[in-house]
Structure 1
Amino acid sequence: MKAVIPAAGRGTRLRPLTDDRPKALVDVAGTPLLTHGLERLADLDVSAFVIVVGYRKEAIIDHYGDEFAGVPITYVHQREPKGLADAALRAESEVDGDFLVFNGDNVMLGDLDAVVERQRTDGVDATLVVDEVSRDEAAETGVFVTDDDGRLDAVVEKPDDPPSTRVLTGLFGFDPEIFHACHLVQPSNRGQYELTDAIDLFLRAGRRVETVPFDGQRVNVNTPADRDRAASLVGQS
């Protein structure tokens, strides 16, 4: 199973740390941010990395070359940061079976094997790794409503009154048919092609979308304060 890693962003909120380097190479506890994700994915025995690059892409390519921990790397280019659905589409020609998507600005510590196991289950078209958060945090992101078996019923983006406190963690498993949904996505109010909208289309088409709970700790690194929290988390591991 291949892993697609969106890592094309400028990291504007991380300035000045990203003034001279891409977000993926910002230092977190002495190691580039992207390396933390690649290490976790290598632990899952992925067959190849497909890294989506954009801003200062040459620095990422020069740093990692054509393999990481023995896993081959292919690079695809996202010219402008148009959202995760658009980033996933950049990798469409490189994917020939079920695959993972891992947001390159995540630091995650915990068991991630469940997403691979669930995605390999017969009849499962997509698997979302979700986490429980506070209601205030849930109101600021997309939340997911599931049935008692963990099967997704609905996606609600930034609700005023969250029907759930389960949110995306940035790790997904997909059947290649998700690319068709990504092609159909229209720009959001932010002008972005949202992966959550593609997932919603997938669900409406009758696809089987399931969730697995994240058992661990994570930081989505968007600001210098996030970087410091991620460094502290890594230091505790």
Structure 2
Amino acid sequence: MWGIIPAAGAGSRIQPLAFSKELLPVGNRVSNDLEQPRAVSEYLVERMIAGGADKLCFVISPNKTDIVEYYGTRTWGAEIAYVVQPQPSGLCDALFRAIPFVHESEPVLIGLPDTIWQPVDALKSLPEDELSFLLFPVEHPELFDAVSTDPAGRVQHIHVKQRNASTHWIWGAFKMPGHIYRELHRLWLRPERRDEYFGTLVNAWLSEGGQALGIPSGTSYIDTGTLNGYRTAMGLLDPRQPQLSVPIVGEETRVHELAVENSR
């Protein structure tokens, strides 16, 4: 199973940094009895491997050689490949850079490397035979891609950074079989498409008869790509701080608890 990690973004929301935003230190880990800072993208790597990925593909920009250096000098439990997105041309362009690696029979996991979410093994709840989104409840869905589903969990529409979205559930990661990954790529290649956002591409795919599931298995979601999100993540990962069971984090630093059954 492939895990595709789009890591070519400039990280303009949290600049200036002297390194790639995916290597931003957040929390720590212990290796050989030595406590070390942990890069934020490690959380996604950990979750993808827990979800069954045995191959990872980082999509990087030409100047992000520090990511290759960082991940190329450690053993992670998965084979790692790299592809280059020459110019920042949106999430869809980045994701489909991995097309040469993925066979149509192989499942694909996709997540964002500047996010931290719980539970660690949530990707296991997604089926491998259809496009499925791992959903999280958040306070400010307008900052993300909110996902409307019917009572059976079928995705009806993805609201891309839309104010007054009809749901507080957003996608934080997704899974699909390789043949659907390739179907979406063919749709994206049409001259009238070339979507920047994955949500608008999926909406077009749904309108042509495609189907997708929304699985509300996520409990907390933090976007560390902003200064406030970074501060929130640092606070929540500090073992000296009391931990909330279901933190809901948007652009602001406020943290709330939201019952899953009252959020759909």
Assess same fold via TM > 0.5.
Answer: yes
Partner of 2:221: 218
> Which residue of 99, 113, 129 maps to 1:104?
113
Secondary structure of 1:203's aligned partner: helix
- Would you tell me which structure has more helix in proportion to its own residues? 1
Partner of 1:3: 3
Measure, in 1, the Cα distance between the counterparts of 2:19 and 2:176: 31
Partner of 1:133: 138
Q: Give yes or no for the alignment of 1:82 onto 2:84.
A: no
Percent of counterpart pairs with the same letter?
Answer: 21
Q: Give yes or no for the alignment of 1:198 onto 2:206.
A: no
Aligned residues of 1:10 and 1:55 also touching (Cα < 8 A): no
Aligned residues of 2:137 and 2:219 also touching (Cα < 8 A): no
**Structure 1 stretches of 5 or more lacking a match?**
none
* CA shift for structure 1 position 62: 0.9
> Which residue of 54, 63, 85 maps to 2:61?
54
Measure, in 2, the Cα distance between the counterparts of 1:36 and 1:133: 19
Aligned residues of 2:2 and 2:54 also touching (Cα < 8 A): yes
Larger Rg: 2
Secondary structure of 2:126's aligned partner: helix
Instruction: After TM superposition, list the pairs within 5 Å mapping 1:1-237 onto structure 2.
Output: 1-16=1-16, 18=17, 20-29=18-27, 30-54=37-61, 56-65=63-72, 68-96=75-103, 97-113=106-122, 115-120=123-128, 124-134=129-139, 137-169=140-172, 171-176=173-178, 177-185=180-188, 193-236=196-239
Aligned residues of 2:148 and 2:156 also touching (Cα < 8 A): yes
**Structure 2 stretches of 5 or more lacking a match?**
28-36, 244-264
* CA shift for structure 1 position 162: 2.1
* CA shift for structure 1 position 173: 0.5
The TM-score normalised by the length of structure 2 is: 0.76
| CA 142–117 in structure 1, closer or farther in 2 if over 3 Å, else same | closer
Aligned residues of 1:185 and 1:194 also touching (Cα < 8 A): no
Measure, in 2, the Cα distance between the counterparts of 1:215 and 1:142: 15
* CA shift for structure 1 position 71: 0.8
| CA 192–118 in structure 1, closer or farther in 2 if over 3 Å, else same | closer
Q: Write out per-residue CA displacement over residues 91-135 of structure 1, whole angstroms, 9 at most, x where no aligned residue.
A: 11111122100111111121534x444322xxx42000112233x
* CA shift for structure 1 position 40: 1.8
* CA shift for structure 1 position 78: 1.0
Aligned residues of 2:4 and 2:98 also touching (Cα < 8 A): yes
Higher relative contact order, structure no. (Cα contacts within 8 Å, ≥ 6 residues apart): 1
Aligned residues of 1:4 and 1:91 also touching (Cα < 8 A): yes
The TM-score normalised by the length of structure 1 is: 0.84
